[in-house]
Amino acid sequence: MSEAVGKRALGTPYLRVDALSKTSGRARYTDDLPMPGMHYAKYVRSTIAHGMVTSVDASQALAMPGVVAVFTCNDVPQIPFATAGHAWSLEPAKRDVADRLLLNRHVRHHGDGVAIVVARDELTAEKAAALVSVTYDELPVITSPEAALAADAPQIHSCGNLLKRTAINAESARATVSQSPFQFRGHFDTPVVQHCHMEGVTCYAWQEADNKISVVSSTQIPHIVRRVIGQALDMPWSHIRVIKPYIGGGFGNKQDVLEEPMAAWLTLKLGGIPVKVELSREECFFASRTRHAFHIDAEMGLTADGTLNGYHLDVLSNTGGYASHGHSIAAAGGNKIPYLYPRCDYGYSAATVYTNYPSAGAMRGYGAPQVTFALECLMDDAAAQLNIDPVDIRLRNAARSGDCNPVNKKTIYSAGLIECLKRGKELFGWDERKAEALATRGDIRRGVGVACFSYSSNTYPVGVEIASARLLMNQDGNINVQVGATEIGQGSDTVFSQMVAETLGVPVSTIQMISTQDTDITPFDPGAFASRQSYVTAPALKEAALSLRQKILDHASLMTHQAAFNMTILDGNVVLEAQPDVVVTTVAEVAMHSFYHQEIGGQLSAESSHKTQTNPPAFGCTFVDVTVDIPMCQVTINRIINMHDSGRILNPQLAEGQVHGGMGMGIGWALFEEMLINEKSGVVHNPNLLDYKMPTMVDLPDLECGFVETYEPQSAYGHKSLGEPPIIAPAAAIRNAVRMATGISVNTIPLTPKRLYREFVNAGLIRG
């Protein structure tokens, strides 16, 4: 059967399918869907970072009018559960670490939940929570991984403070570096930051008449939330229903199961009434998840002409009080970068450690920004010492099609990195800008920088990559599409509608995406993470669309007495394959006939579930031009461009939006953002959007991007990942530009004025 398709849908900048709903205010988020009789829960949080609860006095809170109940750490089920949003593994050793309880006697970070108050209104719940008195037996506070690994360190968890270690070809790579004619080493530190999604952490739960628990949540992973609630409450997973409406951003924070188990448990305890658990913005900082801080020791060996013989990265990752995604972040970072420079000896070792910091979890890039920062900074230092242009040294070592990943031995079928570097260099005007930068002197100096990245398109083979899709034809010929893949603002629903339209041969306007996920109805999918949605969902959508397309043609054959194999569908019309200008019937007419003919037909539908077993890398680079005001210790970005090889670009407008958003986050990570955590007490000093310096529109330069379109043969539509890659390279590129401007290698970010002041004083550029 021919796979002829209609008017081109993919590769066209179609308007987002949710654009009008969101801009008009008609989109309904979790907080827009209140229930009659809703009760509100507020946590009583620990005032210490490490210790044991010895007593809880809730008498004053319970005496307040409107307070329904107070539950303490002594009341909750003693069932440890994991919160990380990964697909379940049949192998116990590969499952996420179950180290959470709903409330904790042993508190492990400042603000840990020790009790919770339920009241008839939110204000009463807040006031009552402040009246609960808790006493503690304090333990020493550990905030650094090095201190946590000390022989005499107090144990944060019974298993010890070391969560896990990873080693990939470490000894071989170190030996290669030590035998290289030119060797370079450096230590690099990246900060703790928060996701700062516009919509906070919020959910509510109630019990249905059939005793099932329903949960409405702002989550990236509704099917995983269902499973974890079942595990935490020792209930059958199918007795939990999770509904995800529109979501106001997640960036990985909502790839954790956050407050849903608590909401579900509270409604069980209170006879099924609806109970809402919503975190304040301050609580989102210290009681949801953060990005892991990495300490990285890197070493690299090269020849005089810049050929990379080998490199090794040694990572120490701070996961905070609980595992969450834990060591998966450090391990994933090490598995995402070998594609970048594959023709060398690659080594990686990492340890993830519990401390009394707030818990770290998934965040956009999932370990790749941290390790790429170290790699690309050291590569730049090597280029400077060898007197090689930073672009040229990367061109010499960059991945090419046909190369083999040195870790998993997979062939790289599509690699546009070299073209990204060449085209980006030309668009940016690298040679001219570099010459101008090197000529600057005095207090105001310029520098240009470049950095590369590689990133995968899902989690296979570490995780199970399953996606499902269901297509239902309406009477008017429009198609309802249900997928388990979650739209969280990245535009996946729009691209899915384009995929279905192109494969069916119908206009995009006739595709209706059902954006709300409901685990009782929606086909299964783990959720939005790992830049997987468009790549992993595409095969399921394509299989379902081809099946529905054949059913349409088969029914059209019954209507018109034309052979189905002689017809195809173009722009919503059923036409002759050999004479596409001859319209036999329309898809809308086929739909009406199939529904309402007295003897033949029925609702036309198709469903597919597909497991992906390929994982091609995306590539790209960042070019940046900065001005450094040395007396003011200030960095200003004059121009910045991201270049991307994400295979075939399915919607150029959405792709550009994704890149701009990621670049903005990358710039924030490089220059502004860090959670200020007291090293002695574990207290977060800036848990709000006033003191936490996140860049706004006025702080960002014009953001530019370009695409090198390759075609990935393992992909259903030739595409690769794009969601997370834009955030990876800007920080290293900015740091490298600052190094060119000042001659100083600043290896700790963010490059705030206070950090640059110390560096400039130490280097003698300014007086202390």
Q: Residue 748 has what pLDDT?
A: 98
Check: CB of residue 173 under 8 Å from CB of residue 185. Answer: no
Query: Can you tell me the mean pLDDT for 194-217?
Result: 96
Judge whether residue 6 has pLDDT over 50.
no
Instruction: Choose among 758, 641, 745, 628: nearest CA to 378.
Output: 745
Q: Residue 634 has what pLDDT?
A: 98
Query: Can you tell me the mean pLDDT for 329-354?
Result: 98
Q: Residue 7 has what pLDDT?
A: 59
- The burial class, CB within 10 Å (0-12 / 13-18 / 19+), for 540 is buried
Euclidean distance between CA atoms 453 and 340, whole angstroms: 6
Q: Residue 8 has what pLDDT?
A: 85
Check: CB of residue 654 under 8 Å from CB of residue 495. Answer: yes
Please tell me the CATH code under which domain 33-139+201-278 is placed.
3.90.1170.50
Instruction: Choose among 263, 206, 319, 195: nearest CA to 668.
Output: 195
> Which residue spans within 161-201 are E strands per DSSP?
162-168, 182-189
Residues 6+ apart with CB under 8 A from 370: 190, 292, 294, 296, 315, 333
Give pLDDT tens digits for 399-437.
999 999 999 999 999 999 999 999 999 999 999 999 999
Please tell me the CATH code under which domain 290-460+614-763 is placed.
3.30.365.10
Please tell me the CATH code under which domain 18-27+466-611 is placed.
3.30.365.10
Instruction: Choose among 414, 420, 368, 373: nearest CA to 394.
Output: 420
Euclidean distance between CA atoms 573 and 506, whole angstroms: 8
Where are the CATH 3.90.1170.50 domain residues in the chain? Answer: 33-139+201-278
**What pTM value is reported for the model?**
0.97
- Bridge partners, residue 354, by sequence: 320
Where are the CATH 3.30.365.10 domain residues in the chain? Answer: 18-27+466-611, 290-460+614-763
Judge whether residue 191 has pLDDT over 50.
yes
Give pLDDT tens digits for 572-615.
999 999 999 999 999 999 999 999 999 999 999 999 999 999 99
Euclidean distance between CA atoms 433 and 573, whole angstroms: 54
Query: Rounded to 5 degrees, what are φ and ψ at 467?
Result: -145, 150
Convert 318-336 into a string of H (helix), E (strand) and C (coil): EEECCCCCCHHHHHHHHHH
728 CB-side CA count, 13 A: 32
Q: Could you give the C-alpha distances from 68 to 117, 326, 644, 695, 716, in angstroms and in order?
A: 8, 36, 54, 42, 54
Give pLDDT tens digits for 674-722.
999 999 999 999 999 999 999 999 999 999 999 999 999 999 999 999 9
Euclidean distance between CA atoms 663 and 725, whole angstroms: 9
Residues 6+ apart with CB under 8 A from 119: 39, 40, 42, 64, 66, 67, 68, 125, 128
Give pLDDT tens digits for 268-297.
999 999 999 999 999 999 999 999 999 999
Instruction: Choose among 636, 628, 700, 620: nearest CA to 665.
Output: 700
Q: Residue 433 has what pLDDT?
A: 98
Euclidean distance between CA atoms 496 and 695, whole angstroms: 31
Check: CB of residue 300 under 8 Å from CB of residue 239. Answer: no
Instruction: Choose among 292, 430, 280: nearest CA to 369.
Output: 292
Give pLDDT tens digits for 39-61.
999 999 999 999 999 999 999 99
Q: Residue 740 has what pLDDT?
A: 98
Question: The tokens 């360190």 sit on which residue?
Answer: 153
Give pLDDT tens digits for 488-524.
999 999 999 999 999 999 999 999 999 999 999 999 9
Euclidean distance between CA atoms 43 and 266, whole angstroms: 12
Judge whether residue 4 has pLDDT over 60.
no
> Would you call 439 helix, strand, or coil by DSSP?
helix
Judge whether residue 5 has pLDDT over 60.
no
End-to-end Cα separation, the chain, in angstroms: 76
Strands ordered across the beta sheet of 479-483? 511-513, 479-483, 466-473, 605-611
Convert 339-398 into a string of H (helix), E (strand) and C (coil): CCCCCCEEEEEEEEEECCCCCECCCCCCCHHHHHHHHHHHHHHHHHHHCCCHHHHHHHHC
